Amino acid sequence: MPIAKHLAQVSLVLALLPVAAGCAPATPVAQPTTAPAADVKKTYADMVLCYPQLGAESDWRTANTASIKETAEQLGIKQLVFSDAQQKQENQIAAVRACIQQSVSVIALPPVVEDGWDAVLTEAKNAGIPVIIVDRSVSSDPSLYASHIGSDMVLEGQRAAAEMNKLLPEGGAILELSGTTGSGAAVGRAEGFRADLNANITILDSQTGNFTRAEAKPVMEAFLKKYEGQFQGIFVHNDDMAIGAIEAIKAAGIQPGELKIVSVDGTRGGFQAMADGWIQADVECNPLLGPQVFEMALKLMNGEPIEKSVLTNETVYYPDDALELLPTRQY
């Protein structure tokens, strides 16, 4: 048998062997390939957002909470994990840890104070959960959180100083009712206010009213006793404390406008106090951050680029516009 024919018979047998043995054919058959599923973009319906709110201390905070809850509802997110820390950092930290355990999509944290967040922010980072700092700032390294959305508190303080300078052009003495000790809002406002206050205006004293009406009133009562007739103005870090202070000022028989009061937030209560002549300027601080928070959270879920800092554009309000604008105020 010629070699060629012999080899042909051998190769045929070899080719048939696997089939006979029930194995796959020697010549591999191209398998149908399915391309790996392209990453399906996350939507709001996939989002579980943790919002460990710091408290309910003021009308500003109430409006901030409403903005978060209403936006979550409107967008139809899967779940909003909301809690109220009653202005206690330990409660906020516990709430963040619970959210880490729950493996939420994003944590949006409105920190009650600036310091003390490194450990829990590191835990969130190690768990792969991005954190957006909302409203007040933290002193932690920016590598520990994705972004900050909120106001420029130092600028708010500078704006307040500019108003007090205009109200006391001949100079004078003032008192300060500051916000929560150690909070980014109080620290920033105090810093900006002192940076731009005219040298002919002296700050006689500064006490915290913890951003609440109830705590500001007794502080103002004590101020009135200790500094009666010695001061011409007051810088108040938020409208709720201004309203508490005004109750004490009224009780002391002082008339609207006798003291020059500059406040912050621009709430309905602040607008009413301006219309009634008690507050001479109200520096805006906008709490309606819900839409920005959720838009950024979705980008983070989809690995899209975001801004490291998003500052709210704000202004100053005055008594002349207060009555007209009051019905339009959203908070």
Residues that bind ligand GZL (CB under 6 A): 57-58, 60-61, 135-136, 151, 185, 211, 238, 240, 264-265, 285
C-alpha span between 42 and 298 (Å, rounded): 7
Concatenate the DSSP letters of all residues of 212-270 into one string: -HHHHHHHHHHHHHHSTTT-SEEEESSHHHHHHHHHHHHHTTPPTTTSEEEEEE--HHH
Give strand pairing partners of 284: 265
Strand residue runs (E) in 23-85 = 48-53, 79-84
Q: Strand order of the sheet with strand 233-236?
A: 201-208, 172-178, 233-236, 260-265, 281-284, 316-317
Torsion of CA 43, 48, 50, 56, to 10 degrees: 90
Nearer to ligand GZL by C-beta: 58 or 71? 58
Which residue's CB is nearer to ligand GZL, number 232 or number 282? 282
- Quote the least distance from Cβ 130 to ligand GZL, whole Å: 21
Distance of closest approach, residue 164 Cβ to ligand GZL, in angstroms: 17
Q: What DSSP state is assigned to residue 315?
A: -
Shortest distance in whole angstroms from residue 236 CB to ligand GZL: 10
Looking at the Cβ atoms of 100 and 153, the one nearer to ligand GZL is 153
Q: Which of 61, 217 has the CB closer to ligand GZL? A: 61
d(Cα 159, Cα 188) in Å, to the nearest integer? 12
Which residue type sits at 11?
S
Q: Is 50 helix (H, G, I), strand (E, B) or coil?
A: strand
CB-nearer residue toward ligand GZL: 50 or 112: 112
In the complex, least distance from residue 136 CB atom to ligand GZL, rounded to whole angstroms:
5
The angle at the Cα of 330, spanning 46 to 289, to the nearest 5 degrees, equals 35
From the CB of 289, what's the least distance to ligand GZL, in Å?
A: 9
Q: Shortest distance, CB of residue 78 to ligand GZL, whole angstroms?
A: 28
Q: How far is the CB of 67 from ligand GZL (least distance, A)?
A: 12
Residue nearest to ligand GZL (CB): 60
C-alpha angle with apex 243: 240 to 246, nearest 5 degrees?
150
77 vs 273, beta carbon nearer ligand GZL: 273
Helix (H) or strand (E) holding 109: strand 106-109
- Asked if 163 contacts 195 with a C-beta cutoff of 8 angstroms, the reply is no
Least distance from ligand GZL to the Cβ atom of residue 304, Å = 26
9 three-state secondary structure: helix
Nearer CB in complex with ligand GZL: 282/301? 282
Instruction: Indicate the residue among 58 and 158 with the shorter CB distance to ligand GZL.
Output: 58
